[in-house]
Structure 1
Amino acid sequence: MSTMTINGKLAPLPDDPDALLVDVVRDALDLTGTKLVCGAGVCGACTVLVDGEPAVSCLMPAGSAANKSITTVEGIGAKALHPVQKAFMAHDALQCGFCTPGFIVEAAAFHDSWRAAKGTAVPSREEIGAALSGHLCRCGAYDGIFRAVADACAGRFDGNDILPPRMEARDKVTGSAKYTVDIHHDGQLEGVILRSPFAHARISELDLAPARAMPGVSAVISLLRDDRIVRYVGEPIAAVAAKNRKTALAAIAAIKLGSERLPSAIGLDEARKADAPVVFEKSARKMAGNVSEGGGAPASWKGNIRGPSAAFSKKPKKVRSWVEGARAANNPLLVEAIFRTGTQQHACLEPHAAVARFDGDRLTVHVSTQAVFHVMELIAKRYKLGHDKVRVIADHVGGGFGSKAALGVETTTAIELAREAKAPVRIAYDRHEELSVTGYRPATEMKIALLPSEQGELKALSLTAYADTGAATNSTIAALARLIYPAEAKELADFDVISNLPAGAPFRGPGGPPMAFALEQAIDEAALRMKVDPIALRKRWDPDPNRQRLYDWAFGLEVWRNRKPIAAQSGRYRRGVGVATGYWLYLWQPGSKVEVAVKAGRLVASTATQDIGTGTRTVIANTVAREFGLEPHEIEVRIGDSKLPEGPGSGGSRVTASVIPPMLLAIEQLKAAIQQNAKRQPVPGSNAPWREMLAASPDLSVSSVRPEDSKPMAPGVQSPLKQAGFMGMIFGWMMRRFSNLAIGAGVPSSVQVIEVEVDTWLGHVRVVNVHTGIAVGKIAAPALAHSQAAGAVIQGIGYALYEAREVDSRTGDVLSGGMEDYRIPGIADTPMIDVHFDQSGFDHVLGGSVGIGEVATVPTSPAVANAIYNATGVRLTELPIRPDRLVAALKGRAAA
């Protein structure tokens, strides 16, 4: 038997010639810091050192490691943290942490060779980017990674350990953080789903017997709906649980399938045709998925088109009349355009995964989820179990971005297979499943008309949005334009276009980025025609107090004051500067509960929420520590477990605003209880009075539920739904009644100023500098908020320039099913990012803090497009802004 040395210990290698090193490391040796993501050597998450050199273990046959020395992330910091690990912790060069071990291994190797050759010289961004170019981070932690690697190479982390700003940073940089895909129980089976190869078909035969008869197979179940119709490629048909994935895949292949093919409609354009095949008959419409974070309002259907949803319109007949009149009169101030955006995949690095285990009548499910408590409730309801019989756990989550907020097929299938097999079952999607059937931000077509008055005010706005939602409904895009730039009249209409494609899902600020891409370019075009500075026009038309302060900040930026006139440059490379505004709703979750306790002299804060990389553990620890005059690392934070007090889901930027207010109330009550039970008061003049009282305190616990906000006192701060009138109030009631979400007063806002460089020959766009101003109240965890803001910008750059799902228009197959095909930003795509936080505006919220995740990404794509226009005089109306589209637009402009 051949062997390898791994982290200094001898380990056997399997005889299986098909075995890969990543599987041996993770499954046989339980070194789960090494992550399997792409399986194609593209993302770098599985990087290990082979005789001291970085290598991707997902492509390396296990046999090739014979007689070699392998080092995983667990071996990098085994005795003492490596300078790179300390630097990553100090600079918060991570978020969800799933990609972090691979970065650490590669960066440590770069650091060691750099120091050996160049001492403490500081490597350039280009050198760091080149060294780490084989690694991807979907959270966009690159800004911190640049700083961390540079400082480590400069010798700034050669000394003692540091206290990081993120609570779980050490676990993530050492590979000890456990994600759902890392969970392994004794006797655990591997589950695999058989998916439809057809875009539309009726399954006439499903013979599971051949799979059941195979050795090593413990359970086979049908996943067909009652009508036996599949409506997209990838829809679940059946599932298998077997002793390993190889056996499960063989069993899936043995299932006999008979089908009657049905006509299909693939995509936005085909599904809108008058003679398009209908995806959901009237009786089946409830089967459609949901692309929204809330429940949708009723709307009419006509074939595959659902809508219009137009409740947020204001005087729509006047809009039509005024726009038609302006068009007939050739009014030069009338701005009209059609904008299109592509489909953006969530591309979470940890795939959707679940591990289900029954212990008698008790069910425990580890899930990669954004909502541990809500998923527990849904499981209990679906399987008619008491809440005390179901436990959902998510210790760490490798990204979600909206796609992991519901009870997914991976979870229900794992549960049903575990029940059938009477053994624990894990289901973890492969990369093609992750990039095809887990949801996406729908592509859109948006028609906009914007009419300023002769006096320079915004007279009319019309925005009609068609969303390519696949087998789902409830898009909200145009309606979001109701809550910004008040106009005398607005006509806003949303349509879902249902087709034989997988269902869309909420994605970080659902509807916000596409709406802003159209609206913010129209605002810029209006400013051009009115001969007004684009920021000055926004400041005139937009009365929101949070954004007014951000406009003043943006107007003072040197890069804005020094920008060149539109198309004033010549030559191949041209620089441009653009601005755009974004907003999101201030959401919080009623019923959210936090317990704060003293246990054995230590403070413990508990709530059934989760940390998907946004920093929830740290927000909680910082808040408790600040109130007691302690350090955050002295606080024990318990989250990620549904048995804890009811907590919020991580979606809609709701967590901070949902947990801080009840936590502050609980802290106030706990302080009173500690003082009441104190046998002696602190020593006079003590600088740590609470530390002394906590040490002497008996065990105590206090819990509090999220209270309603006080009435805003600051001028101009009110509920955006109140601004929207009666329909806004109805919408707010529906959100609270059906989605358990409250919409508070005040508007989280962002303004971005972006500088780009355009290669006019090849059509390449490089984002050079980003200035992002954000108003979300008091910042509870500054370093982590900076990471969130920078990562949001990077995801926005991906949406603007690179990301687009590709589909076979005949078959419905998703073609961009791997990380080598679906392009997300890499570290070398990262610009310099300046983050400005305006911490006013939410004093009516206890604690003064609201969420940052959504609002920080909304204005990026239109700011990039406006910058390109400033550089070239060409307005791009379709995302992503590919080189071929830009070159064609430049040629068209030259020809004109």
Structure 2
Amino acid sequence: MNVRLNGSSSPVPDSPDTTAAEHIRDRLGLTGTKIACGTGVCGACTVLVDGAPTASCLMPADRLAGREVTTVEGLGGDHPVQRAFAAHDALQCGYCTPGFVVEASVFVDAWRAEHGDVRPGRERVADALSGHLCRCGAYEGIFAAVAAACAGEFDAEPDRDPPRVDALDKVTGRARFSADLVPEGGWEGVIVRSAHAHARVRAVHPGGARSAATPLPAPGGPVDGQPVFTDLLGEERLVRYAGQPIAAVAAPTAALARAAAEAVRVDYDPLPAVLDTDEARAEGAPQVYTTRAQRRAAPSYGEAPTPPSPWRGNTRGPSTASWRGATAVRRLRGAAERGDPRLVAQEYSTAVQLHSPLEPHVCVASWERDGTLTLRVSTQTVVKTAQKAAERWELPPEKVHVVSEYVGGGFGAKGGLSTDMVAAAELSRLSHTPVRVSFDRAEELTDAGHRPGTRTRVALLADADGDLAAMTVDSEGDGGISVGSTTATLGLLGYGRSPRRVRDFDVVTHRPPGKPMRAPGGAPLAWALEQAVDTMAERLGEDPLSLRRRWDGNPKRQALYERVAALDLWRDRPRGPRTGRFRRGVGLASSNWLYLMGPKARVELSVRDGRVLVRSATQDIGTGIRTVLGGVVADRLGMPASDLRVEIGDSGSVHGTGSFGSRTTTSMGPAAADAADRLRDALREHEPRVPESGPVPEHTLKDALTAAEGVRVVGKRGRDRWGALSPDMDDVAVGRGLSGAVHVMEVEVDTLLGRVRPTRCWAGMAVGRVYAERLARNQVEGAVVQGVGYALFEERRHDPGTGVVLTDNLEDYRIPGMGDVPETEVYFHQEGFEHAVGAGVGLGEVSVVGVAASVANAVHDATGWRPRDLPVRPDRLLEGLR
């Protein structure tokens, strides 16, 4: 049985057990076809079958027989859509990109055949690509790319390089992600997970699989292909949530591994469980942690170390911080007693939001004969992963090799040594062969991390002049078995220095643990605080922008407020009560974030074969650091980018900062600039014609590089003027100053169906120097998409009786598609961080913090109803309008 695949005849299996996607990827090696959801929802696996876009993850492979199939590789790299996607930066991590490209190629060809070189409207493009999801949120670039391709703007090769250096690899499917790696002779691993929310595990029986207790054959691999088994529970034989890893098995094929996992039998002693925070707080509730040692070992969902805090049953806290806190409490109590109308005291809640990167957690592990462990992983922290692996397996650092060339999104979920890595490494050691362990979408949506839910109480008091006189924030984190709430603590950083007290609590339950997610604590705080500020403006009879300009002393945000005041979107917004089914509203929200850096950031430059090689152990999760490194070096030396090659994501290189905390560009960019200056000095020693500064003439550079073959220099980040606010905490330090943002959102509210449709957004960012503007704009646009999802759709749900996660697929856990997002304009205020090396700070976090709050304030403006609980579901909106 054969299929005509990209113009050539290829065999297909005669069994329906394998999907077309698995066959195309794993057996034919065409890994541009991605598997993300496995249920035909996300579009990443799209191929053309007889010219029609088809979800290959749902199609049995034997149905390909006799068909004409085209994958992204078959488009050849010169289709107008591919050129347009690259030129308009219609991608970030690139994992979903091939599926978009394949579908868009059909739409563009059909549109032009019918309409000629005419741009389709935004809604028409959204409708055509409605079966595709991009978790990074690169939709603005996709809209622009498809429209431009339809207009015939990319029928010929563009006269300039794409803004992203790896764009062509991603739009053609050449980029190889960890999930694409199938080592020759490698095995597949499957994790066995708990069926109970709380239980003691008496025994785990491996079925027919070999374990460490079973005599294993010599290195070279079990000749009979018998599955292998490893226990993942460790000494504490307790499970604390449904879906917790218990064991893992590996076999030569995925089907055999799944069968081996089903044969594993676990003997449980079920224990009482608490599955929501109300139960957990009740007197006599079962305890998630019963000893001080267990509480100290509770996982954290914060990016910073979790400080000590008192426990009372299942409640941890308060962690208290204040500035004249007693004064704030006294003023607020007095205002409440006298019924002061200038007191705003409100409570807000947010639901659990899942990271859900489209490339799942995946690791291919292999042990070499010399004892070296190689981990090919999807991670945001190459160096940290290597360090943790060396500690776990008691290896010298040089015996651990971590590789992460392309990463399909992370958003905070992929940090450190995760379960997929531990399982793959242990199974590889037992089987003497490489083992791949990859989460399926249900595992990713259950046990790969989440932004915890919150319940936050805000109290604000204005004095007779309308100035902020006192503030308290009390927030309770709902992170399952994990702790680390900082939502209230972030309230110390905004709106001047009025007296304030903030307190953070955690209530633990028998549900999966949270992890840091893009501005941990920031978005929940803004959801509460920014709505309370709008409420105060209403109480005072003042414009919401005017009140923020009075209360907010941050000069960088003041510059953004000035821009907002001049926006047509804000100036021409509707005023007064609105009627009718469809009501338009405009709201705004302010936000800030810490300036973080990686003091140990290093970049290596070496001269090889007459070209400059740029290397570092950092990694690119779609934010574009690969492009930034090459761009900084090229600009600094005045050399063409074609004379550079950038290699990242390998722990064998010099230290690279992890991709979290909005610190990658602000750390790696200055290190690249320092490396370029050092290389210039080294080139001058070999070729005196190299100028001391400015561009190097092309012929001079060529001679210098030829003479300097083998030269190697290492650049480092350097120290900010006036230093940092904190010491280096394992390559994380807090810099001086806060980044700032203002989001202005327009929505249309359907009061009959209860739907909210964001239509336009203005996003102002005060982050200092921007290294690569189009890529930075893409990040901000993507943050707006994720913030809209947080505001309107995303909500993890679980079975209240068993604790099993019910929203374990992308049908039930909805993330925004192209038809859900507003047209977004981004503005960068590039002043205010001249004291920082490189004059800029990160923007990945601050760009998402205020989005959901701006949606909520717009909904209130349109309807008069104040949404307190997130997401703003239709049922909640309709109930509020009654």
For 1:531, which of 541, 548, 567 is the aligned residue? 541
CA distance in 2, matches of 1:157, 1:19: 38
Per-residue deviation at 1:268?
2.2
Q: What is the letter of the counterpart of residue 157 of structure 2?
A: N
Q: Measured at CA, do residues 690 and 622 of structure 1 come closer, stay the same or move farther in structure 2, by a change above 3 Å?
A: farther
> Contact conserved, 2:683 with 2:690, CA < 8 A, in 1?
no
> Contact conserved, 1:678 with 1:696, CA < 8 A, in 2?
no
Per-residue deviation at 1:846?
2.0
Is structure 2 residue 710 aligned with structure 1 residue 711?
A: no
CA distance in 1, matches of 2:388, 2:746: 46
Q: What is the letter of the counterpart of residue 607 of structure 1?
A: S
Is structure 2 residue 82 aligned with structure 1 residue 85?
A: yes
For 1:235, which of 240, 244, 253 is the aligned residue? 244
- Give the aligned partner of residue 218 of structure 2: none
For 2:107, which of 105, 110, 114 is the aligned residue? 110
CA distance in 2, matches of 1:246, 1:110: 36
Q: What is the letter of the counterpart of residue 318 of structure 1?
A: T
> Contact conserved, 2:637 with 2:696, CA < 8 A, in 1?
no
- Give the aligned partner of residue 592 of structure 1: 601
> Contact conserved, 2:639 with 2:696, CA < 8 A, in 1?
no
CA distance in 1, matches of 2:840, 2:101: 33
Structural mapping, 1:34-49, within 5 Å:
34-49=33-48
Residues 103-156 of structure 1, C-alpha deviations (whole Å, 9 max, x = no match):
000000111111222221211111111110000000001100000000001100
Q: What is the letter of the counterpart of residue 864 of structure 1?
A: V
> Contact conserved, 1:542 with 1:548, CA < 8 A, in 2?
yes
Structure 2 SS opposite 1:217: coil
Is structure 2 residue 270 aligned with structure 1 residue 261?
A: yes
Residues 784-823 of structure 1, C-alpha deviations (whole Å, 9 max, x = no match):
0110010000000000001000111111000000001100
Per-residue deviation at 1:685?
12
Per-residue deviation at 1:276?
1.6
Q: What is the letter of the counterpart of residue 74 of structure 1?
A: E
Per-residue deviation at 1:209?
4.0
- Give the aligned partner of residue 189 of structure 2: 191
CA distance in 2, matches of 1:589, 1:134: 39
CA distance in 1, matches of 2:12, 2:822: 43
TM-score after normalising by structure 2: 0.96
Q: Measured at CA, do residues 599 and 318 of structure 1 come closer, stay the same or move farther in structure 2, by a change above 3 Å?
A: same
CA distance in 2, matches of 1:531, 1:209: 71
Structure 2 SS opposite 1:527: helix
CA distance in 2, matches of 1:485, 1:682: 49
Identity of aligned residues (%): 46
Per-residue deviation at 1:669?
1.9
Q: Measured at CA, do residues 686 and 645 of structure 1 come closer, stay the same or move farther in structure 2, by a change above 3 Å?
A: closer
Structural mapping, 1:818-829, within 5 Å:
818-829=809-820
- Give the aligned partner of residue 11 of structure 1: 10
For 1:848, which of 822, 839, 842 is the aligned residue? 839
Q: Measured at CA, do residues 487 and 526 of structure 1 come closer, stay the same or move farther in structure 2, by a change above 3 Å?
A: farther
Is structure 2 residue 439 aligned with structure 1 residue 442?
A: no
- Give the aligned partner of residue 30 of structure 1: 29
CA distance in 2, matches of 1:801, 1:382: 41
- Give the aligned partner of residue 202 of structure 2: 204
Residues 206-237 of structure 1, C-alpha deviations (whole Å, 9 max, x = no match):
11143449974331011123121100001111
Q: Measured at CA, do residues 673 and 364 of structure 1 come closer, stay the same or move farther in structure 2, by a change above 3 Å?
A: same
- Give the aligned partner of residue 54 of structure 1: 53
- Give the aligned partner of residue 215 of structure 2: none
Q: Measured at CA, do residues 668 and 887 of structure 1 come closer, stay the same or move farther in structure 2, by a change above 3 Å?
A: same
- The worse-fitting range, judged by mean Cα deviation, of 830-839 and 654-663 is 654-663
- Give the aligned partner of residue 724 of structure 1: none
Q: What is the letter of the counterpart of residue 67 of structure 1?
A: G
- Give the aligned partner of residue 219 of structure 2: none
> Contact conserved, 1:681 with 1:693, CA < 8 A, in 2?
no
Per-residue deviation at 1:851?
1.0
> Contact conserved, 2:628 with 2:665, CA < 8 A, in 1?
yes
CA distance in 2, matches of 1:634, 1:839: 29
Per-residue deviation at 1:698?
1.3
Per-residue deviation at 1:692?
4.0
- Give the aligned partner of residue 173 of structure 2: 175
Residues 755-790 of structure 1, C-alpha deviations (whole Å, 9 max, x = no match):
111111111101010000001111111110110010
- Give the aligned partner of residue 726 of structure 1: none
Is structure 2 residue 766 aligned with structure 1 residue 768?
A: no
> Contact conserved, 2:197 with 2:510, CA < 8 A, in 1?
yes
Structure 2 SS opposite 1:836: strand
Structural mapping, 1:403-802, within 5 Å:
403-566=413-576, 568-678=577-687, 688=698, 691-699=701-709, 700-711=711-722, 732-733=726-727, 736-737=728-729, 739-802=730-793
- Give the aligned partner of residue 715 of structure 1: none
> Contact conserved, 1:351 with 1:428, CA < 8 A, in 2?
yes
- Give the aligned partner of residue 218 of structure 1: 227
CA distance in 2, matches of 1:122, 1:512: 39
Q: Measured at CA, do residues 740 and 558 of structure 1 come closer, stay the same or move farther in structure 2, by a change above 3 Å?
A: same
Q: What is the letter of the counterpart of residue 653 of structure 1?
A: S
For 1:368, which of 374, 378, 395 is the aligned residue? 378
Q: What is the letter of the counterpart of residue 189 of structure 1?
A: W
- The worse-fitting range, judged by mean Cα deviation, of 225-234 and 284-293 is 284-293
- Give the aligned partner of residue 860 of structure 2: 869
Structural mapping, 1:143-158, within 5 Å:
143-158=140-155
> Contact conserved, 2:196 with 2:242, CA < 8 A, in 1?
yes
> Contact conserved, 1:660 with 1:846, CA < 8 A, in 2?
no
Structure 2 SS opposite 1:114: helix
Structure 1 SS opposite 2:425: helix
Structure 2 SS opposite 1:391: strand
CA distance in 1, matches of 2:666, 2:614: 16
> Contact conserved, 2:615 with 2:648, CA < 8 A, in 1?
yes
Structure 2 SS opposite 1:306: strand
Q: What is the letter of the counterpart of residue 123 of structure 1?
A: P
Residues 57-108 of structure 1, C-alpha deviations (whole Å, 9 max, x = no match):
011111111100110011012xx51000000000000000000000000000
> Contact conserved, 2:636 with 2:695, CA < 8 A, in 1?
no
Q: What is the letter of the counterpart of residue 359 of structure 2?
A: E
CA distance in 1, matches of 2:737, 2:329: 31
Structure 1 SS opposite 2:145: helix
Q: What is the letter of the counterpart of residue 75 of structure 1?
A: G
Unaligned runs of 5+ in 2: 212-221
Residues 430-468 of structure 1, C-alpha deviations (whole Å, 9 max, x = no match):
000000001100000001111111122211111100010
Residues 822-858 of structure 1, C-alpha deviations (whole Å, 9 max, x = no match):
0000011121100001111111122212111111000
> Contact conserved, 1:460 with 1:487, CA < 8 A, in 2?
no
> Contact conserved, 1:628 with 1:690, CA < 8 A, in 2?
no
Unaligned runs of 5+ in 1: 713-718, 722-731, 892-896
Q: CA RMSD in A?
A: 1.7
> Contact conserved, 1:582 with 1:855, CA < 8 A, in 2?
yes
CA distance in 1, matches of 2:626, 2:17: 41
Q: Measured at CA, do residues 288 and 690 of structure 1 come closer, stay the same or move farther in structure 2, by a change above 3 Å?
A: farther
- Give the aligned partner of residue 849 of structure 2: 858
- The worse-fitting range, judged by mean Cα deviation, of 739-748 and 148-157 is 739-748
Is structure 2 residue 129 aligned with structure 1 residue 119?
A: no
CA distance in 1, matches of 2:449, 2:673: 36
> Contact conserved, 1:218 with 1:242, CA < 8 A, in 2?
yes
Per-residue deviation at 1:607?
1.1
For 1:313, which of 307, 311, 322 is the aligned residue? 322
Structural mapping, 1:86-101, within 5 Å:
86-101=83-98
> Contact conserved, 1:217 with 1:247, CA < 8 A, in 2?
no
Per-residue deviation at 1:534?
1.2
Per-residue deviation at 1:740?
3.2
